[in-house]
């Protein structure tokens, strides 16, 4: 048997085997629904812009608060120091939460 | 297609899911759960990247390219777990002898050969399309197909399929 004939026979054998023995996935009625449920929450582009601007403004506001309040502490009475410190901690916590939320959203979106 | 139109995307998933799941079923050698997970990952990646699809290539080729990349990522993630000698549990427990035979036959091949042979013989794609999906030159695909064909033919002859 020459090479061409051998090649032809092998081709036929493999082709027939794969055509008749192929795996067929069992019908899965939930597949599409599950896939759609895994898609990210829909947000319009204007919504994304508003979210970005709000986050940016909040971070700037918290930053300004953090910068201004420590100067006032020195001049305030003892009771007010606690109040000022609380404001600082609140501003810091707010800023950290905002940044963390944005980072989590970024990770969820791209990874 | 409207990119955020979930109903349109669901139709697209419904239309292409049988072939993508079948592709993964052959790559994973019959592991249905893994195939479904990888197919879902493929469609989610498609959802994110569909805006990049310019319509220059066939949509099906584009989708299969994503699927193949998802499978390559899966192999990379599990590179320390050698599964080449193990027939997946579900393949042995839920399929008949016919499917175990094709599983064993496909085990003779490397992942690239398996992908090439599946796309060429089962999905009836041209060599150029296979090359585009696997992102390899057509000459390399022909070599892979030839090697895979020889390995499969030997396996089949040794197991009485003549």
20-79 in chain B: CB under 8 A from chain A:
21-22, 25-26, 30, 32, 35-36, 39-40, 43-44, 47
- Taking only the tens place, the pLDDT of each residue in B101-136 is 788 889 899 999 999 999 999 999 999 999 999 999
d(Cα B111, Cα A82) in Å, to the nearest integer? 66
Q: How confident is the model at residue A47 (pLDDT cuts 50, 70, 90)?
A: low
**Residue B35 and residue B108: Cα distance in Å, rounded?**
19
pLDDT class of B98 with cuts at 50, 70, 90: low
pLDDT at A33 exceeding the cut of 70: yes
Of the candidates B110, B105, B117, the one whose C-alpha atom is nearest the C-alpha of residue B142 is: B117
Task: Give pLDDT, residue B62.
Answer: 92
Cross-chain residue pair A17–B152, CB shorter than 8 Å: yes
Distance CA A33, CA B6 (A): 10
> What whole-number distance in Å separates Cα of residue A36 and Cα of residue A39?
5
Query: Do residues B42 and B63 make contact, with C-beta atoms less than 8 angstroms apart?
Result: yes
pLDDT over 50 (residue B92): no
ipTM of the predicted structure? 0.73
Going through B42-154 in order, the beta strands assigned E by DSSP cover none
Instruction: Give the pLDDT band (50/70/90) at residue A70.
Output: low
How large is the average pLDDT for residues B154-161? 84
Confidence (pTM)? 0.67
Burial of A23 (0-12, 13-18, 19+ CB in 10 A): buried
């Amino acid at each position: 048997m020459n090479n061409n004939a051998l090649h032809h026979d092998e081709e036929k054998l493999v082709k027939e085997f794969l055509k008749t023995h192929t795996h067929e996935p069992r019908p899965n009625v939930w597949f599409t629904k599950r896939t759609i449920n895994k898609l990210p929450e829909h947000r319009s582009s204007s919504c994304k812009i508003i979210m970005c601007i709000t986050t940016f403004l909040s971070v700037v506001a918290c930053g300004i608060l953090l910068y201004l309040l420590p100067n006032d502490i020195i001049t305030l009475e003892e009771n007010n120091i606690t109040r000022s410190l609380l404001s600082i901690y609140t501003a810091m916590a707010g800023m950290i939460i905002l940044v963390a939320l944005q980072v989590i959203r970024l990770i969820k979106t791209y990874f | 297609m409207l990119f955020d139109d979930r109903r349109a995307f669901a139709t697209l998933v419904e239309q292409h899911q049988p072939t993508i799941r079948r592709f993964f079923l052959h790559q994973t050698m019959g592991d249905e759960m893994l195939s479904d997970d990888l197919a879902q990952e493929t469609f989610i990646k498609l959802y994110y990247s569909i805006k990049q699809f310019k319509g220059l290539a066939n949509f099906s080729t584009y989708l299969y390219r994503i699927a193949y990349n998802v499978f390559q990522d899966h192999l990379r993630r599990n590179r320390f777990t050698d599964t080449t000698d193990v027939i997946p549990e579900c393949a042995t427990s839920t399929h008949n002898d016919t499917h175990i035979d094709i599983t064993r036959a496909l085990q003779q091949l490397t992942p690239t050969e398996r992908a090439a042979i599946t796309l060429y013989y089962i999905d009836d794609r041209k060599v150029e399309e296979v090359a585009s999906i696997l992102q390899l030159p057509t000459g390399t695909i022909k070599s892979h197909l030839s090697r895979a064909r020889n390995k499969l033919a030997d396996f089949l002859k040794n197991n009485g399929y003549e």
